[in-house]
Structure 1
Amino acid sequence: MSANYCISCGHFLETRNIGGTERFACPCCDYVYWGNYSVGVGAMVVKDNKVLLVRRAQEPGKGNWTNPGGYIEQMELIEQTVAREVLEETGVKARATSVIAIRDLPSSIHDIYIVFAMEYMGGQPKPDGMEVDAAGFFSLEEMKTMKVAGLTQWIVDSAMNAASSGLLIDKEPVVPLNGSGLFRVAVTEE
């Protein structure tokens, strides 16, 4: 999908070289169509050495077991999005602790998927009945007999074999950047 008209003034967009890349731009105002992007988040919730998974009830991937997740909302911090998605899909309350994996998939809609390690806070897995039709905590051994999606297999492997805790949520940045979600590597102790 591409843009044909300016979302600011409605004028027909023209192709213009901007920074060495051909882009759609408005000849009447400053609007530039930078592309079509999608940002999703996924959760890795582990309880008693078992991973929270959901079985997709809709395409794409209907019938596959995946980690809970979804797409960000315009005015929502991504750590809030992932906690909301886990709660909506499974009834499990969890809190994001770190970013543990990122999948980058360039295509006509450039898709970025950010995976969070989540601290289990409470609740028993119960599917929402719309997006997912089953939910539960499963061991690595149990997953071997399940139809687990490839990306989820990679995420589980990344999480369970991690050498570090990933990018941590920075709740006390050295410089306040109000409204920003900040993530950083662990600070070394002096």
Structure 2
Amino acid sequence: MPRRACPACDFVHWGNYSIGVGALVVRDNRFLLVRRAEDPGRGVWTNPGGYTEQMESIHRTVEREVFEETGVTATVERVVALRDQPRQVHNLYVAFSLRYERGEPRADGVEVDDVGFFTVDEMEGMNVAGLTRWLIEVARTSNGHGLSLDHSEYVTSDQNWLFRADGGLTVE
């Protein structure tokens, strides 16, 4: 694919990208949801989430977004799903399962105007976004499988965060 580049300095413009993150936090068989107070999606219930900052790792981003939007502290366990959305600004959305640590849900009053933990049955009567419904289904049926944070002896840079699949390939 042709790309814009500068022949004088070897700069290559790789394109415009954004990385979104989403959180699936469960407490007592209930999923943490937020109701969006702003467009897009005003009035729609979604899982908490947001976008990474330039020098922020994605697993720290999702933990921060959960706390900012809901007041709940949660810790990343694994990556459960990805959404790839190629468009003018190419968006990659990474959904994480997080372990509930502490805190009672409270809306931030800016991005979110309501928040709570809900069962799947309670969500039936709610205006829950399709992507959120899909993510909850994926989380419920993944049996704890996904990509978990790995602290490797082979890649030790503080600038690399690695996630690995449980199990491995069978090599004969």
TM range (shorter): over 0.9
Say if 2:153 is the partner of 1:174: yes
Q: Tell me by how many angstroms 1:28 deviates.
A: 2.6
Residues 161-185 of structure 1: CA distance to partner in whole angstroms, max 9, x if unpaired?
A: 11442001103x1313312111001
Q: Tell me by how many angstroms 1:77 deviates.
A: 1.2
Determine what percentage of the aligned residue pairs are the same residue. Answer: 52
Higher relative contact order (CA 8 A, sep 6+): 2
**AA paired with 1:61?**
G
CA distance in 2, matches of 1:62, 1:119: 27
CA distance in 1, matches of 2:144, 2:67: 26
Larger radius of gyration: 1
**What SS does the aligned partner of 2:2 have?**
strand
Structure 1 alignment gaps of length 5 or more: 1-20
CA distance in 2, matches of 1:163, 1:47: 16
> Which runs of structure 2 are paired with 1:3-22 in the superposition (5 Å)?
21-22=1-2
CA distance in 1, matches of 2:119, 2:95: 19
Q: Tell me by how many angstroms 1:75 deviates.
A: 1.0
**AA paired with 2:142?**
A
1:67 to 47, 60, 81: 47
CA distance in 1, matches of 2:73, 2:101: 5
Moved more, 69-78 or 91-100: 69-78
User: Between Structure 1 and Structure 2, how many residues are aligned?
Assistant: 167
Runs of at least 4 residues of structure 1 off by over 6 A? none
Structure 2 alignment gaps of length 5 or more: none
